[in-house]
Amino acid sequence: MASARRSALRSMASPPSTIDQVPTTRVRARAAILVVDDDAAMRDYLKEELEHEGFTVEVANDGRAGLERVKRGGVDLVVSDVKMPEIDGLDLLREIRAVEPCPYVITITAFGSIDTAIRAVKLGAYDFLIKPFEMDRLLLTIDKALAERALRSEVVRLREEVSRRDRLDNLIGRSPAMQEVFSLIRRVAGSPASVLITGDSGTGKELVARAIHAHGPRKARPFVAVNCSAIPETLLESELFGYARGAHSTARTDREGLFVEADGGTLFLDEIAEMPLLLQPKLLRILQDGEVRPLGTNKVERVDVRVIAATNRDLAVYLRDGQLRQDLYYRLNVVQIHLPPLRGRSEDVLPLAEHFLARSATRAGKALRGFTEEAKKIILAYTFPGNVRELENMVERAVALAEGELIGPDDLPPVTRERKSQDRLSTAVAQGLTLDQLEREYIERVLDAEGGNKTRAALRLGLDRKTLYRKLEEYAAAPKPGSDG
Ligand SMILES: Nc1ncnc2c1ncn2[C@@H]1O[C@H](COP(=O)(O)OP(=O)(O)OP(=O)(O)O)[C@@H](O)[C@H]1O
Ligand SMILES: [Mg+2]
């Protein structure tokens, strides 16, 4: 009975013709097909025919066994009957679609059940065949499905490769400059050499420092960041090197310094230009000998710390003016990584914007998909004096404001829409601005660029914070010339 059926089926299968000429043999040899059918005769027939065509074929005699097999992985394509007891073909299909990565499914339905076939496709089947079908037809469908699947996984692979190339941890960068930075980070991560990271405020220096740490053998040990400009000179010394009880008036107990805390790991010395001259020899000593001497002691501790320093200043000026010791500079600057301003790497702007959008939207629980074309144009035309930090602030603000699915021009701050004059100073001259007025505009612009952060604005302006506060108070008291009131 089975063999009678088999010969009947065989007679329906005309010999494969055209597809054999297509270079499918290689694809076929590597493709694993699972045949799911409760009808033993059909199962055996399909297995034999498909193996004959060069496929690797496994069989399952019901939906449950089929699903189990798919879950174990390695199945590229499922050819499944629909009408089966317990888990039928449609249920199986639904379950298979939830498996990652899910194989393509071709369903076989009985004559007269076109509705079922359509439902199968709606559920995500690649295609359907109606019994009785010709073997040729099945082979053609299988080859098409496998070709499409191969193409799709190639797209996924390429996309992954591109995104891998465009990022390093949290660092996004498509520009040649950032690609070079990524490559430097990877190369330098494994060595204990000191690294000096230079670049304007907001270009990502701290993120780079963290990436170096995270990619090296010290990643399981601490990464300790110190901002040399944020800590008063007297405190900085005891913060860095530690102190013994009684070393100064507030030193009630012994305290370990940050160098000891970072032992085995990385110490990130941010704003290194602000390192007080008096502390520089001590720092040099640690870099040279790995020895720390806490304040108020004669005891010397050995530490193994990798130092990464960063600055947004032109260190040549500090060297020239004697504010930075040459020998320390050479010790710190074994490898230098420079981060160019964002306006010089326009390829990075949109990928960064999209990265920040995705992150802020998730945090805010908003279903934002992207930017309108108009908004993209505005963003690309803007010069970002505050670099990546400014872009990040801008996107966060836009996410907070946006109402639709896309961020539009109205969600962007007004400053992005002001037309840039070719020569800002000639405009100022033409406007007849006084030096005070010009200073005020500049200060306000920088403060904007820093998202209102006065500490950072002061840093960028080269002012101390008190001076900035005083100026801002004066501005608040005196309305801008030209504005009402
Ligand atoms: N390439 C980048 N990819 C993703 N985020 C970035 C990138 N560069 C900078 N950022 C983000 O921008 C902000 C500023 O970066 P970071 O604090 O590292 O700048 P910085 O150079 O140390 O600035 P400053 O000199 O003002 O201290 C951070 O929130 C950081 O996450
Ligand atoms: Mg920083």
- CA 435 vs. chain centroid, Å, equals 43
Tokens 């099945």 correspond to 138
pLDDT band at 424; cut points 50, 70, 90: low
Q: State residue 250's pLDDT score.
A: 64
Domains of the chain plus CATH, in order, are 2-160 (3.40.50.2300), 168-340 (3.40.50.300), 347-417 (1.10.8.60), 424-477 (1.10.10.60)
Q: State residue 172's pLDDT score.
A: 95
pLDDT at 1 over 60: no
Ligand 1 atom showing the smallest separation from residue 197 Cα: 21
Q: Of 165, 389, 455, 460, which is best to mutate to test ligand 1, by the most ligand atoms within 8 angstroms of its C-beta?
A: 389
Distance between CA atoms of 453 and 69, rounded to whole angstroms?
Answer: 58
Mean pLDDT confidence for 127-142: 93
Cβ–Cβ under 8 Å, residues 356 and 402: no
Instruction: List the single range of 27-31, 287-291, 451-455 with lowest mean pLDDT.
Output: 27-31
Give strand pairing partners of 407: 371
Distance 201 CA to ligand 2 centre (A): 7
Q: State residue 204's pLDDT score.
A: 97
Mean pLDDT confidence for 34-63: 95
Least Cα distance to 127 among 107, 109, 110 occurs for 107
Mean pLDDT confidence for 349-353: 96
Instruction: List the single range of 49-58, 200-209, 210-219, 253-262 with lowest mean pLDDT.
Output: 253-262
Q: Which among 3-17, 161-175, 276-290, 419-433 has the top mean pLDDT?
A: 276-290
Cβ–Cβ under 8 Å, residues 231 and 269: no
pLDDT at 485 over 60: no
Residue 263 DSSP SS3: coil
Mean pLDDT confidence for 344-364: 93
Distance between CA atoms of 151 and 144, rounded to whole angstroms?
Answer: 11
- Residue 174 phi, psi (nearest 5): -105, -20
**Cβ-based burial of 326 (10 A; exposed 0-12, middle 13-18, buried ≥19):** exposed
Alpha carbon dihedral 195, 200, 202, 203, in 10-degree steps, equals: -60
Q: State residue 379's pLDDT score.
A: 95
Distance 201 CA to ligand 1 centre (A): 8
Q: State residue 29's pLDDT score.
A: 67
Tokens 């710390």 correspond to 305
Mean pLDDT confidence for 303-316: 95
Give strand pairing partners of 168: 171
pLDDT at 108 over 70: yes
Q: State residue 24's pLDDT score.
A: 54
Distance 282 CA to ligand 2 centre (A): 23
Mean pLDDT confidence for 116-138: 92
pLDDT at 81 over 50: yes
Ligand 1 atom showing the smallest separation from residue 199 Cα: 21
pLDDT at 446 over 90: no
Ligand 2 (ion): which residues have CB within 5 A?
Answer: 206
pLDDT band at 299; cut points 50, 70, 90: confident
pLDDT band at 213; cut points 50, 70, 90: very high
Model pTM? Answer: 0.61
Instruction: List the single range of 210-219, 281-290, 453-462 with lowest mean pLDDT.
Output: 453-462
Q: Of 200, 392, 460, which is best to mutate to test ligand 1, by the most ligand atoms within 8 angstroms of its C-beta?
A: 392
Write the single-letter amino acid at 49: E
Mean pLDDT confidence for 302-311: 96
pLDDT band at 233; cut points 50, 70, 90: confident
Mean pLDDT confidence for 125-129: 94
Q: What does the block give as tokens for 170?
A: 């949290």
Rounded to the nearest 10 degrees, what angle do helices 435-449 and 465-477 cross at?
A: 110
Instruction: List the single range of 142-146, 243-247, 437-441 with lowest mean pLDDT.
Output: 243-247
Q: State residue 5's pLDDT score.
A: 44
Distance between CA atoms of 269 and 287, rounded to whole angstroms?
Answer: 12
Cβ–Cβ under 8 Å, residues 90 and 119: yes
What mean pLDDT value characterizes the chain? 87
Least Cα distance to 367 among 358, 379, 376 occurs for 358
- CA 359 vs. chain centroid, Å, equals 10
Write the single-letter amino acid at 216: G
Tokens 């907001």 correspond to 202
Distance 202 CA to ligand 1 centre (A): 5
- CA 53 vs. chain centroid, Å, equals 44
Least Cα distance to 401 among 390, 388, 414 occurs for 414
Q: State residue 449's pLDDT score.
A: 74
pLDDT over 90 for what percent of the chain? 62
Mean pLDDT confidence for 220-248: 88
pLDDT at 9 over 50: no
Write the single-letter amino acid at 115: D
Q: What does the block give as tokens for 403?
A: 């109402």
Ligand positioned closest to the Cα atom of 347: 1
Q: State residue 261's pLDDT score.
A: 93
Is the CB–ligand 1 distance for residue 43 below 6 Å? no
**Residue 219: how many other CB atoms lie within 10 Å:** 14
Question: pLDDT of 370-415, one tens digit each?
Answer: 999 999 999 999 999 999 999 999 999 999 999 989 999 999 998 8
Least Cα distance to 343 among 416, 269, 266 occurs for 416
Distance between CA atoms of 277 and 272, rounded to whole angstroms?
Answer: 11
Q: Which residues contact 221 (CB under 8 A, 6 or more apart)?
A: 262, 263, 264, 265, 266
Mean pLDDT confidence for 414-436: 73
Is the CB–ligand 1 distance for residue 388 below 6 Å? yes
